[in-house]
């Protein structure tokens, strides 16, 4: 038997079917958690944001517009909640400070592991708008048009934002001596 | 030398897997005679691969249960009170500090026990605030973290003078009994507090206190250790007849947290 699609599950959720909500939760818990983690770089915060996202989804079931795909709605909430979390905790500035100038110099050869860790640090040193587009592309595997839907910006802007985000990441990695 | 913006766009489109066959041919032709564009292609491909290879993380195993436990039974349209979510947003269920600082509902209950009648109790009312925020790691506080499919979260043990405070910050998928046992007969059950959720089930007898949790719960168990001797408390977590987790927490003399 085919698995119910998101739209069908949402229709059942609106009618009060908790099982349908749980199915959506199982389906999207991991991507939402990973998106939140990459936005916040903190497991506890990612956990709390993930919880908030799904509670918010449930609370706003009756406001869901079926013209949009469920994933774009839930991902948008996840990114917005993460950004709000950062603002509330005023962490962006601290992270910028904490991760600055940690490299061994441009001559250092980075292992894959160092590069991965360096990339995680570099991600936290670009603005949340650029980080969001990178996460949508590389963590959540969204296409340009899907990113456009989640962020509610034109596809052309998605491309330019992705390109700028990558340039910034390269600069940060170079500063960290990892590129 | 600056690279033609059209080539930059094609490079990014190729890396993102969003390039048409015609564009791919155009890109290959452009790269052929352009070392700067080739270098950019190599650099961006490497960057993109590193991003794609960031590890995929598993959420905490209890998170789904915590979320389902926090979701009300009725769908939004059927509820008259639309404000429940606001408090949950203010303080996600797994992080309590904000909500308790705001003075959320808290109940303190002493329950019938064969130890209650003959003992002098310490008034624990003033200590209720001691579970009003997440227990930090630190000297004098022993923390045990539990991460099982049936029950997850943490248990901490600290003291305030002769009172031992065992703080349970847990979430369970189904009903789980917690049995706290201690062999020292000079120690007795002095009280119990729970945060937020009403209707806890608890019983106390000589050397043993049993509580039940279902969903997310924050309990504090108060034991009076008048002699302030070292004491080990065994904690068993049972799902039905199965012991799903068993651990000892120990109060060591001189580790005064209060």
The nearest alpha carbon in chain A to B71 belongs to A55
| Pair A71, A118 in one domain | no
Reported as a single tens digit per residue, the pLDDT across B193-212 is 776 555 567 777 778 888 88
**Across the interface, do A16 and B88 touch by the CB < 8 Å criterion?**
no
Q: What is the pLDDT of residue A135?
A: 97
Q: B83 or B221: whose pLDDT is higher?
A: B221
**Across the interface, do B59 and A48 touch by the CB < 8 Å criterion?**
no
Taking the CA of residue A112 and the nearest CA in chain B, the distance in Å comes to: 8
Which of A16, A58, A60, A167 is the best substitution to test chain B (most B C-beta atoms within 10 A)? A58
The nearest alpha carbon in chain B to A48 belongs to B92
- Chosen domain end from A60, A90, A120: A90
Residue A95 domain-assigned? no
Q: What is the pLDDT of residue A4?
A: 86
What CATH number does the domain containing A170 carry?
1.10.10.10
Residue A29 domain-assigned? yes
| Pair A167, A130 in one domain | yes
pLDDT at B90 over 50: no
- Chosen domain end from A90, A116, A147: A90
The residue segments making up the domain with residue A81 are 1-90
| Pair A85, A3 in one domain | yes
Quickly list DSSP for chain B: -PPPHHHHHHHHHHHTT---HHHHHHHHHHHHT-HHHHHHHHHHHHHHHHHHTSPPPPPPTTHHHHHHHHS-SS-GGG-S---HHHHHHHS-TT--HHHHHTT--EEEE---BTTTTTSPPP--GGGGGGGSSPPPPBTTBEEEEEE-SSEEEEEEEEEETTEEEEEEEEEEEEEEEEEEE---TTEEEEEEEEES----EEEEETTEEEEEEEEEEEEEEEEEETT---EEEEEEEEETTEEEEEEEEEE-TT----
pLDDT at B103 over 50: no
**What is the count of structural domains for chain A?**
2
pTM over 0.90: no
Taking the CA of residue B71 and the nearest CA in chain A, the distance in Å comes to: 7
The nearest alpha carbon in chain A to B76 belongs to A59
| Pair A28, A86 in one domain | yes
Confidence of residue B105 (pLDDT cuts 50, 70, 90): very low
Domains of chain B: 5-52 (no CATH), 64-251 (2.60.40.10)
The nearest alpha carbon in chain B to A25 belongs to B64
Q: What is the pLDDT of residue B151?
A: 87
| Pair A164, A112 in one domain | yes
ipTM: 0.85
Average pLDDT over residues B120-147: 56
User: Which positions of chain A have pLDDT values less than 70?
Assistant: 1, 90-113, 178-179
| Pair A77, A143 in one domain | no
* Residue A60 forms contact with B (CB below 8 Å): yes
Taking the CA of residue B181 and the nearest CA in chain A, the distance in Å comes to: 31
Taking the CA of residue B35 and the nearest CA in chain A, the distance in Å comes to: 18
Average pLDDT over residues B221-228: 82
**Across the interface, do A52 and B88 touch by the CB < 8 Å criterion?**
yes
Q: Report chain B's mean pLDDT, rounded to a whole number.
A: 73
**Across the interface, do A115 and B50 touch by the CB < 8 Å criterion?**
yes
Reported as a single tens digit per residue, the pLDDT across B13-62 is 999 999 999 999 999 999 998 999 999 999 999 999 999 999 999 998 77
- Chosen domain end from A57, A90, A123: A90
Q: What is the pLDDT of residue A14?
A: 86
């Amino acid at each position: 038997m085919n698995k119910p699609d998101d739209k069908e599950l949402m229709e059942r959720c609106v009618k009060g079917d908790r099982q349908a909500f749980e199915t959506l939760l199982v389906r999207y818990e991991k991507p939402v958690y990973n998106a939140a983690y990459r936005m916040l770089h903190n497991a506890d915060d990612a956990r709390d944001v993930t919880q908030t996202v799904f509670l918010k989804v449930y609370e706003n079931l009756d406001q869901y517009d079926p013209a949009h795909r469920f994933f774009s709605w839930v991902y948008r909430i996840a990114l917005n909640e993460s950004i709000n979390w950062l603002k509330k905790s005023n962490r962006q500035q601290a992270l910028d400070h904490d991760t600055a100038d940690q490299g061994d110099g441009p001559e250092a050869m980075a292992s894959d592991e160092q590069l991965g860790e360096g990339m995680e640090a570099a991600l936290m040193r670009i603005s949340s708008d650029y980080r969001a587009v990178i996460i949508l592309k590389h963590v959540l595997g969204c296409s340009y048009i899907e990113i456009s839907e989640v962020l509610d910006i034109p596809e052309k802007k998605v491309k330019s934002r992705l390109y700028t985000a990558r340039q910034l990441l390269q600069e940060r990695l170079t500063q960290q001596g990892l590129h | 030398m600056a690279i033609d913006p059209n080539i930059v766009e094609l490079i990014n489109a190729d890396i993102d897997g969003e390039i048409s066959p015609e564009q791919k041919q155009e890109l290959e032709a452009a790269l052929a005679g352009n070392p700067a564009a080739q270098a950019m292609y190599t650099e961006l491909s490497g960057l993109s691969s590193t991003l794609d290879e960031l590890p995929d993380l598993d959420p905490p195993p209890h998170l789904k249960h915590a979320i389902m436990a926090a979701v009300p039974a009725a769908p939004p349209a059927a509820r008259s009170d639309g404000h429940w979510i606001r408090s949950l947003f203010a303080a996600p269920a797994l992080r309590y500090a904000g909500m308790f600082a705001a003075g959320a509902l808290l109940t303190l209950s002493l329950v019938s026990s064969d130890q209650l009648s003959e003992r002098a109790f310490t008034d624990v009312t003033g200590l209720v605030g001691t579970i009003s925020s997440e227990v930090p790691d630190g000297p004098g506080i022993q923390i045990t973290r539990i991460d099982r499919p049936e029950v997850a979260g943490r248990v901490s043990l600290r003291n305030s003078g002769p009172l031992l405070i065992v703080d349970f910050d847990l979430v369970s998928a189904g009903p789980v009994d917690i049995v706290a046992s201690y062999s020292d007969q000079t120690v007795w059950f002095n009280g119990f507090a729970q945060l937020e959720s009403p209707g806890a089930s608890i019983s106390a007898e000589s050397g043993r206190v049993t509580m039940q949790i279902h969903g997310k719960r924050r309990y504090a168990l108060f034991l009076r250790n008048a002699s302030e001797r070292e004491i080990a408390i065994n904690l068993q977590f049972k799902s039905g007849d199965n012991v799903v987790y068993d651990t000892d927490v120990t109060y060591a003399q001189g580790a005064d947290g209060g």
